[in-house]
Amino acid sequence: MKINKIQIPPLIIISLIVFSILTFIYINRFDQHKKNNLIEDLSDIVNYDNTLAKYISKEFEISEKLAKEIIKSAELEGEKNGIDKYLILAVIAVESRFHPYLESKAGALGLMQIMPNIHKAKIEKQGDIYSVFEIKSNISIGTEILKEFIKMTGDIESGLAKYVGAGNDINHVYVKDVLTWQDKLKKTA
């Protein structure tokens, strides 16, 4: 049994080689372009968070590292719960001035001033009572509470009033303060 060899003209071989090389170069340039764009996008995000972190750090006299950790947690919980991260950060600004170990006279704890006697079940899901002093846990619990109140009342202003214990009094100073801080933080970033 004899196998017939197919003769491929040299010009076609050269064309295939050139085509392969050009395709390889194009793909690598395209990938490099995508990488450069990704690096620029990530750089914008980092600078964006750095600007916000610097502002929070200066305004509330905390470290930039702490500010970045709080921003990141607010961002993650905001995405998870469908709540604007600036609203979460604004609640933190008004409730605790970004100080994670704050305890109020009424017994509210941490960044978002969680009331342990009222939100015991939510705290237990995160761990023990001391978990409210952990940044991620406190923001997770506080954001969950805020989300429930907004859903229960039907709007952000009434949800905020309920969060602070002012019922549905959307004219409450607290609501105005939080919304003012939300706007300030957005403009800073």
Task: Tell me: pLDDT of 144 over 90.
Answer: yes
Q: What is the pLDDT of residue 63?
A: 95
Mean pLDDT of 31-55: 62
The reported pTM is 0.74
Any idea which of 47-56, 60-69, 115-124, 130-139 has the lowest mean pLDDT?
Answer: 47-56
For residue 80, name the pLDDT band (cuts at 50, 70, 90). very high
How much is the pLDDT for 14? 75
The reported pLDDT for the residue numbered 5 is 62
Per-residue confidence (pLDDT) for residue 26, from 0 to 100 = 63
Q: Cβ distance 116 to 132 under 8 Å? A: yes
Please give the structure tokens belonging to residue 44.
């914008």
pLDDT, average across residues 151-156: 95
pLDDT for position 74? 97
pLDDT cut 70: percent of the chain above it? 76
Q: Which of 2-6, 10-14, 52-56, 181-185 is least confident?
A: 2-6
- The DSSP output letter for 103 is B
State percent of the chain over pLDDT 90: 64
| DSSP output for 104-159 | -TT--BTTTTB-TTTSHHHHHHHSSGGGGGSHHHHHHHHHHHHHHHHHHHSSHHHH
CA–CA separation, 9 and 11 (whole Å): 5
Say if residue 43's pLDDT is above 80: no
Cβ pair 142, 114 in contact under 8 A: yes
In the chain, where are the structural domains located? Answer: 14-188
Read off the pLDDT of each residue in 140-162 and give the average, rounded to a whole number: 95
CATH code reported for the domain at 14-188: 1.10.530.10
CA 77 to chain centre: 6
Please compute the mean of the pLDDT values over residues 74-99 and round it to a whole number: 97
